[in-house]
Structure 1
Amino acid sequence: MDIVIPFLMTFVIGELELPAGDPAYTVNGGRLAILMAALLVCAMLALVFGVAGGKLAAKASCGRTSTARFSRFLLPTSTGSPPPA
């Protein structure tokens, strides 16, 4: 989505630029509305994918650190001393 949004923006700018020497130029509202709707859809998809990626990254890192913490502090270790009675 991060590549598609600037690509669509070039079409919006191209639609809005005034041709040289043509004061009677009118903007095609239908095409501009379609481009803006496509930009809005892309922005919403980027937002949804960004939030989902953040949640999944947090979940993955939390699982990784809890596993490391468990193996570091909670597993019995061999110290050479007899087990407690």
Structure 2
Amino acid sequence: MLAEGLLRRPGSVVDVPSNADAARALGWTVYAYQRMLDSVCEAFAARGVPGLRGVAGKPQTYRRQHLVDHVVSTGVITSADLHLL
């Protein structure tokens, strides 16, 4: 969901959806979505991926953008995964 725009338009500048927009698209509550995002980010951060732990004073957008950049650039997800949405 977060990387959909980048996967559909590789090489373009794409805004990452807000937590509320992503939760709505998935049919989840914002709270449930944020907890899942926390878990995913913490799992990647524990493996050494920088920029996924919250930083005081920085919008959460940066954390979401770092996650999207990482999973797309490393091939964790690809355009072949779009059918899963």
- Asked whether the two chains share a fold, i.e. TM above 0.5, the reply is no
TM-score (norm 2): 0.29
Q: For the pair shown, which has the larger CA radius of gyration, 1 or 2? A: 1
Larger helix fraction of residues: 1
